[in-house]
């Protein structure tokens, strides 16, 4: 697993340190790019990390059988089943059923009925023992079909300094612009930057949760099998010893995802370049950048391959209330109408524009925005056709 290089530092006089900071700032090279073709590694990786990337990609695409730990309930047999469009590591088209209960302003992930992720398929061993896949919990107040997000660029997202994300938060709308971005937090208080509902703080947590929830694979962080709608699986339905994936396998998957490049904007060609550039200006003028922050730079203290990389993400990684049009499941961090700002990087490669599949076109996605985005939508609705088409051209170039 990638780690920062260590080393001791001898204390210096404060004035010398300050001068050194000024000199470094003046001489610091520009940030490295993080862009690459979908499914490709970050540019400029050394051979040892490219080898780790390739090994992790191979594991990502392996079909897991029951003897290796699949199930007893599951949704897919390999990671790539949900992350293969347009390449390995991309998004998916297979829906995942999620259910939660929202009562009295609190989210219940329905752990007593098997949890919020519904594993609809059963292994042969479970079926032989008289079991079957899960069904929607009776106590659910919200159920949503979701598709898997693309994993491109998640390593550089993890390397964005917390301070840069916190700087964009305005939970009480102190500037009175109608936008009150809020930091998502995990149950232990860590800043959650991954997941549609801001549910994970680290890639490792994100990966281990997906292995358990989608393939029924136990890991060091999740060493026990899931229940089946609240009922433990029969012992004969789980032949593999736990944990079924160990640290070495998790490390490989983590390095593969961490080293995936972020798709860069397309080259619109001379006939569309002016429209795309105008659309970029319209995007800012109507207030879209209030949530879809165009750029971050990764931390100087990130592991060396990820240090000082430019991240053209178009997301502030904060939670926003977008109104009833986006109502769905909840999480520890987010109410049913709150979602973490969707990154727009790589938008043109997505088979499904919204993870819940309810918005087949860009126009539909935009029209669903409400709540904190209401002022931007009013500005968008007031645009002339040329400005609106330019904005859509810009979005289609990302």
Whether 88 maps to a domain, the answer reads yes
For residue 57, which phi and psi values (nearest 5 degrees)?
-65, -40
Quote the percentage of the chain above a pLDDT of 90: 83
Whether 93 maps to a domain, the answer reads yes
Closest CA to 276 of 340, 347, 343, 341: 347
Whether 71 maps to a domain, the answer reads yes
pTM of the model: 0.90
Confidence of residue 385 (pLDDT cuts 50, 70, 90): very high
Mean pLDDT of 343-371: 89
Confidence of residue 358 (pLDDT cuts 50, 70, 90): confident
Q: Token pair for residue 184?
A: 């998502």
Whether 108 maps to a domain, the answer reads yes
144/163 Cα distance (integer angstroms): 33
In the beta sheet, which residues pair with residue 262? 35
Asked if pLDDT for residue 196 goes beyond 70, the answer is yes
Asked if pLDDT for residue 5 goes beyond 50, the answer is no
Whether 369 maps to a domain, the answer reads no
Whether 210 maps to a domain, the answer reads yes
Asked if pLDDT for residue 156 goes beyond 90, the answer is yes
Question: Per residue in 110-147, is it b (16+ CB within 10 Å) or e — as a string?
Answer: beebbbbbbbebbbebbeebebebbeebeebebebebb
Mean pLDDT of 375-388: 96
Confidence of residue 330 (pLDDT cuts 50, 70, 90): very high
Residues spanned by the domain of 67 = 47-160+201-258
Residue 306 falls in which region: left (phi positive, over 0), alpha (psi -120 to 50) or beta: alpha
Whether 103 maps to a domain, the answer reads yes
| Whole-number average pLDDT of the chain | 91
Mean pLDDT of 347-373: 89
Tokens 């347009």 belong to residue: 86
Quote the percentage of the chain above a pLDDT of 70: 93
Whether 89 maps to a domain, the answer reads yes
247/207 Cα distance (integer angstroms): 12
Closest CA to 363 of 374, 354, 351: 354
**What pLDDT, on a 0 to 100 scale, did the predictor assign at position 391?**
97
How many domains does one find in the chain? 1
């Amino acid at each position: 697993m990638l780690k920062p290089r260590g080393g001791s530092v001898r204390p210096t006089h404060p004035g010398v340190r300050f001068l050194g900071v000024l000199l470094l700032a003046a001489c610091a090279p520009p940030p490295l790019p993080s862009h690459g073709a979908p499914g490709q590694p970050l540019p400029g990786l050394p051979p040892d990390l490219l080898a780790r990337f390739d090994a992790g990609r191979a594991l990502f695409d392996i079909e897991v059988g029951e003897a290796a730990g699949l199930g007893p309930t599951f949704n897919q047999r390999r990671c790539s089943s949900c992350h293969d469009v347009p390449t390995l590591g991309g998004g998916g088209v297979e829906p995942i059923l999620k259910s939660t209960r929202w009562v009295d302003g609190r989210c219940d992930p329905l752990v007593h009925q098997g949890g919020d992720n519904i594993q609809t398929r059963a292994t042969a061993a479970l079926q032989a023992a008289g079991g079957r896949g899960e069904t929607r919990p009776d106590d659910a107040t919200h159920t949503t079909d979701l598709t898997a997000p693309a994993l491109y660029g998640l390593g550089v997202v993890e390397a964005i300094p917390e301070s840069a994300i916190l700087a964009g938060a305005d939970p009480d709308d102190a500037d009175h612009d109608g936008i009150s971005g809020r930091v998502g937090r995990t149950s232990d208080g860590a800043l959650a930057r991954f997941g549609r509902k801001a549910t994970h703080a680290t890639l490792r947590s994100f990966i281990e949760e997906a292995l358990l929830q989608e393939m029924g694979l136990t890991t060091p962080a999740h060493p026990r099998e899931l229940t089946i709608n609240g009922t433990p699986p029969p012992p004969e339905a789980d032949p593999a010893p736990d944990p079924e994936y160990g640290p070495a396998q998790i490390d490989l998957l983590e390095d593969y995802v961490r080293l995936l490049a972020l798709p860069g904007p397309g080259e619109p060609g001379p006939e569309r370049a002016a429209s795309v550039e105008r659309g970029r200006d319209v995007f800012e003028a109507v207030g879209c950048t209030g949530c879809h922050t165009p750029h971050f730079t990764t931390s100087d203290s990130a592991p060396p391959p990820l240090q000082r990389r430019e991240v053209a993400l178009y997301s502030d990684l904060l939670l926003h209330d977008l109104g009833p049009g986006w109502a769905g499941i909840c999480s520890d961090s987010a109410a049913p109408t709150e979602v973490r700002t969707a990154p727009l990087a790589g938008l043109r490669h997505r088979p499904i524009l919204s993870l819940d599949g309810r918005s087949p076109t860009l126009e539909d996605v935009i029209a669903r925005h409400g709540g904190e985005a209401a002022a931007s939508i009013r500005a968008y609705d007031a645009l002339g056709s040329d400005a609106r088409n330019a904005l859509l051209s810009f979005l289609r170039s990302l």
